[in-house]
């Protein structure tokens, strides 16, 4: 499920018989590249302490509540 | 699922959740607020979840929260970011798409999720997701092409800069 798709297989128009123009293909590839760059920029930041701290606090709270 | 197992699963999904939230809000600090509210909801009712659908479930919680509550409170979430980086400029162009097309494109092209998983997250048919991705891609191509043909531009694919900062 976490497998990244790094080719153009995300393109739902790829299976149509009509061949896409070179410019269209270039644009699709560029859009895919830009979106992955945007996504990866955030992914590469890992987990900020704000969230790991929050989960730890909430876990402690629920453990106390269920004890 | 036991609480510690759930917590571990949630922790692993925080980076993709933030990336998805950033694409919805167009702003990382708002994205983090949205992720925090999502985590609180998830931890509050997540103990019955199976491990294999945690990611789709969390994405769905975040998405529903964004459309139902978060967006109403923050009317300006769709405003494009202004910035000099390539990512910010692309994001400004992306923000011109309808939200449902934008999220379909981001989930498919950015997260690499299968169409079936994206359809599950968005609560619609696989064909609808494919159609949204196609429309999003075509509209983006138009926007990027028209800007790159601007006579002031010497930088195709940099739409904001190409428009001379008029956005």
B28–A42: do the CB atoms touch at under 8 Å?
Answer: yes
Query: Using alpha carbons only, what angle is made at residue B125 by residues B36 and B137, rounded to the nearest 5 degrees?
Result: 75
Cβ atoms of residues B141 and A31 within 8 Å:
yes
Q: Is the pLDDT of residue A6 over 90?
A: no
pLDDT at residue B2, rounded to an integer? 62
Secondary structure class of B53 (helix, strand, coil): helix
Indicate the domain borders of chain B. Answer: 1-79, 81-167
CB-based contact, A19 to chain B, within 8 Å: no
CB-based contact, B82 to chain A, within 8 Å: no
Which residues in chain B show pLDDT less than 70? 1-2, 46-52, 70-84, 147-167
CATH number of B81-167: 1.10.10.10
A35–B110: do the CB atoms touch at under 8 Å?
Answer: yes
Q: Which residues of A touch B109 (CB under 8 A)?
A: 10, 31-32, 35-36
Q: How many CB atoms lie within 10 A of CB A29?
A: 13
Average pLDDT over residues A2-16: 51
CB-based contact, B40 to chain A, within 8 Å: yes
pLDDT at residue B46, rounded to an integer? 63
Residue-wise pLDDT tens digits, B11-34: 999 999 999 998 888 888 999 999
pLDDT at residue B119, rounded to an integer? 95
pLDDT at residue B153, rounded to an integer? 46
Secondary structure class of B105 (helix, strand, coil): helix
| Domain B1-79: CATH architecture, name and number where available | Orthogonal Bundle (1.10)
Indicate the domain borders of chain A. Answer: 20-66
ipTM of the complex: 0.72
CB-based contact, A47 to chain B, within 8 Å: yes
């Amino acid at each position: 499920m976490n497998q990244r798709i790094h080719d153009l297989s995300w393109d739902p128009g790829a299976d149509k018989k009509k061949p896409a123009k070179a410019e269209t293909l270039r644009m699709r590839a560029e859009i895919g590249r830009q979106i992955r760059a945007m996504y990866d920029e955030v992914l590469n930041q890992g987990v900020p302490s704000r969230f790991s701290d929050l989960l730890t606090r909430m876990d402690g709270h629920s453990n106390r509540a269920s004890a | 699922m036991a609480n510690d197992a759930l917590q571990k699963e949630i922790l692993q999904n925080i980076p993709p959740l933030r990336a998805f939230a950033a694409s919805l809000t167009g702003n990382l600090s708002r994205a983090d607020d949205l992720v925090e509210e999502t985590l609180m909801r998830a931890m509050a009712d997540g103990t019955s979840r199976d491990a294999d659908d945690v990611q789709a479930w969390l994405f769905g919680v975040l998405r529903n929260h964004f459309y139902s509550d978060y967006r109403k409170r923050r009317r300006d979430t769709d405003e494009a970011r202004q910035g000099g980086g390539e990512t910010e400029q692309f994001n400004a162009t992306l923000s011109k798409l309808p939200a449902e097309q934008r999220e379909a494109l981001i989930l498919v092209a950015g997260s690499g999720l299968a169409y079936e998983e994206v359809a599950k997250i968005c609560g619609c048919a696989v064909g609808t997701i494919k159609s949204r991705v196609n429309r999003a891609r075509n509209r983006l191509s138009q926007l990027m092409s028209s800007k790159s043909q601007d006579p002031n531009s010497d930088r195709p694919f940099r739409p904001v800069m190409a428009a001379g900062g008029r956005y």
